[in-house]
Structure 1
């Protein structure tokens, strides 16, 4: 979306506002250049930088950022989306329901406010690509922060039924209960690694980021006509997408979720 925009030099001054992306590791993150382009386009004197913080150090970092008066906020990604919730002073109802936040803002009084835009960005990316969700059946593998957010967003987008799959059944059982509490009588099922019978198949895990990762689902059960979607952005074509493309499925890249979150994130961060 924004990758074709002309690059502009970023000059750091004593007035520059600081934004971060909290991740571990940070080599795979894609947001900083895009947010920095948005800042330039909007005339904002702000810059986003990667902050590589291990889980054991996250609480200390957030505590320190409260006192950095030039810090306005951050995007939060793997593996911190769920842990960050308890470190925020306030979170949106959406983030509270999902149990994960992927963006935070520091108010002038030092309070940290969290929100969750993963699911909205994912659904908007599908819609922009012409993938209709209302009345369709969806299969989602994963139970982490991104998968939780996508599950809520798919239900809100009107899917007819949603099948949840994960190696740890207790986690998807808990996610199913959260969805029922939030949305009442909806068709949410617990599934296996077999995605047969679904219109949309989504990998909401990190499996595929590393070459040695196992596949997140049984690709032999995919069939032409399915839409197979990723949340992983690096590599762009994961082993799952490669297998799906070979079978004749329509594939949907992980970067589309980020592309459709960027403007929302920029707004939340005050750019």
Structure 2
């Protein structure tokens, strides 16, 4: 197969975002699925919040589309627009992949958290028993929170600018995983084994502060950032300067790819 050609036989996956300029995962998704022999391409699409419902409705009629990725800020607002959710997406309360069936039916799943855990494992990081500070309770943060609890962390502390969202996530994770200590916290990382940024703070083109008090990082910590562009965010650079072990956004993306491929029916 000539991977440079895009024809009427090419299977298309969209990736809806707002803004879209930061999106780099489309190349990784395309390369991964093409490597398994599919004539496939993933294309970023700039969809504003006011047009999300129309875009999802249009997706139903795009017969050569296998579905769509979903990222900031659509992971939660897209839920009521879909026909069905996997059990995982329903529990998490957000979606990052949509599968389009031949009849136009749209099903949502979320492999953010599962991808994060897989990426950590592939980097040799054992999550079981760790005390983790999770920054962010939005679409990605919710998925990572449930996945960390499933992986057996000893304690999960959730910090979010909107405390109501953090409290709601604490309640949901506690109900699903009663054996894990879950509570809300602030941006002080002192005493944690791992810090995970699941917000958009640090994304290229943004100058909106740091997700954690950088002065509270210490060399014995693992610091992870789900932001993919830049590869080394201000948080990760500060963590590296402190001697921390780093986990990059691309490692989370790579951990998702096989899960997304299976969900889309492209194995």
Q: TM over 0.5: same fold?
A: yes
Counterpart of 2:25 in structure 1 is 31
Q: C-alpha separation between the residues in 2 aligned to 1:75 and 1:193?
A: 30
Instruction: Check the 8 A contact 2:13/2:41 in 1, yes or no.
Output: yes
Instruction: Check the 8 A contact 2:134/2:198 in 1, yes or no.
Output: yes
CA offset at residue 193 of structure 1?
1.2
Counterpart of 2:86 in structure 1 is 92
Say whether 1:150 aligns with 2:153: no
Say whether 1:200 aligns with 2:194: yes
Query: Which of the numbers 169, 181, 197 marks the counterpart of 1:175?
Result: 169
Q: Map 1:30-179 onto structure 2 (within 5 A).
A: 30-179=24-173
Q: C-alpha separation between the residues in 2 aligned to 1:218 and 1:12?
A: 47
Q: C-alpha separation between the residues in 1 aligned to 2:26 and 2:161?
A: 32
Q: C-alpha separation between the residues in 2 aligned to 1:25 and 1:126?
A: 27
CA offset at residue 233 of structure 1?
0.4
- Structure 2 runs not aligned, ≥5 long: none
Say whether 1:16 aligns with 2:10: yes
Once the two structures are overlaid, the 10-residue window that deviates more, 200-209 or 183-192, is 183-192
SS in 1 for 2:6: coil
Instruction: Check the 8 A contact 2:225/2:248 in 1, yes or no.
Output: yes
Instruction: Check the 8 A contact 2:100/2:106 in 1, yes or no.
Output: yes
Give the structure-1-normalised TM-score. 0.94
Q: C-alpha separation between the residues in 1 aligned to 2:191 and 2:135?
A: 15
- Spell out, residue by residue over 1:132-177, the C-alpha distance to the aligned partner (whole angstroms, 9 max, x if none): 1111111101011111100000000000011111111111100001
Instruction: Report how many aligned residue pairs link the two structures.
Output: 265
Q: C-alpha separation between the residues in 2 aligned to 1:217 and 1:50?
A: 30
> How big is the alpha-carbon RMSD for the aligned residues of Structure 1 and Structure 2?
1.5
Query: Which of the numbers 234, 237, 258 marks the counterpart of 1:242?
Result: 237
Instruction: Check the 8 A contact 2:153/2:180 in 1, yes or no.
Output: no
Counterpart of 1:264 in structure 2 is 259
Instruction: Check the 8 A contact 2:214/2:235 in 1, yes or no.
Output: yes
- Structure 1 runs not aligned, ≥5 long: 1-7
SS in 2 for 1:202: strand
Q: C-alpha separation between the residues in 2 aligned to 1:119 and 1:25?
A: 22
Counterpart of 1:3 in structure 2 is none
Give the structure-2-normalised TM-score. 0.95
Query: Which of the numbers 248, 256, 262 marks the counterpart of 1:253?
Result: 248
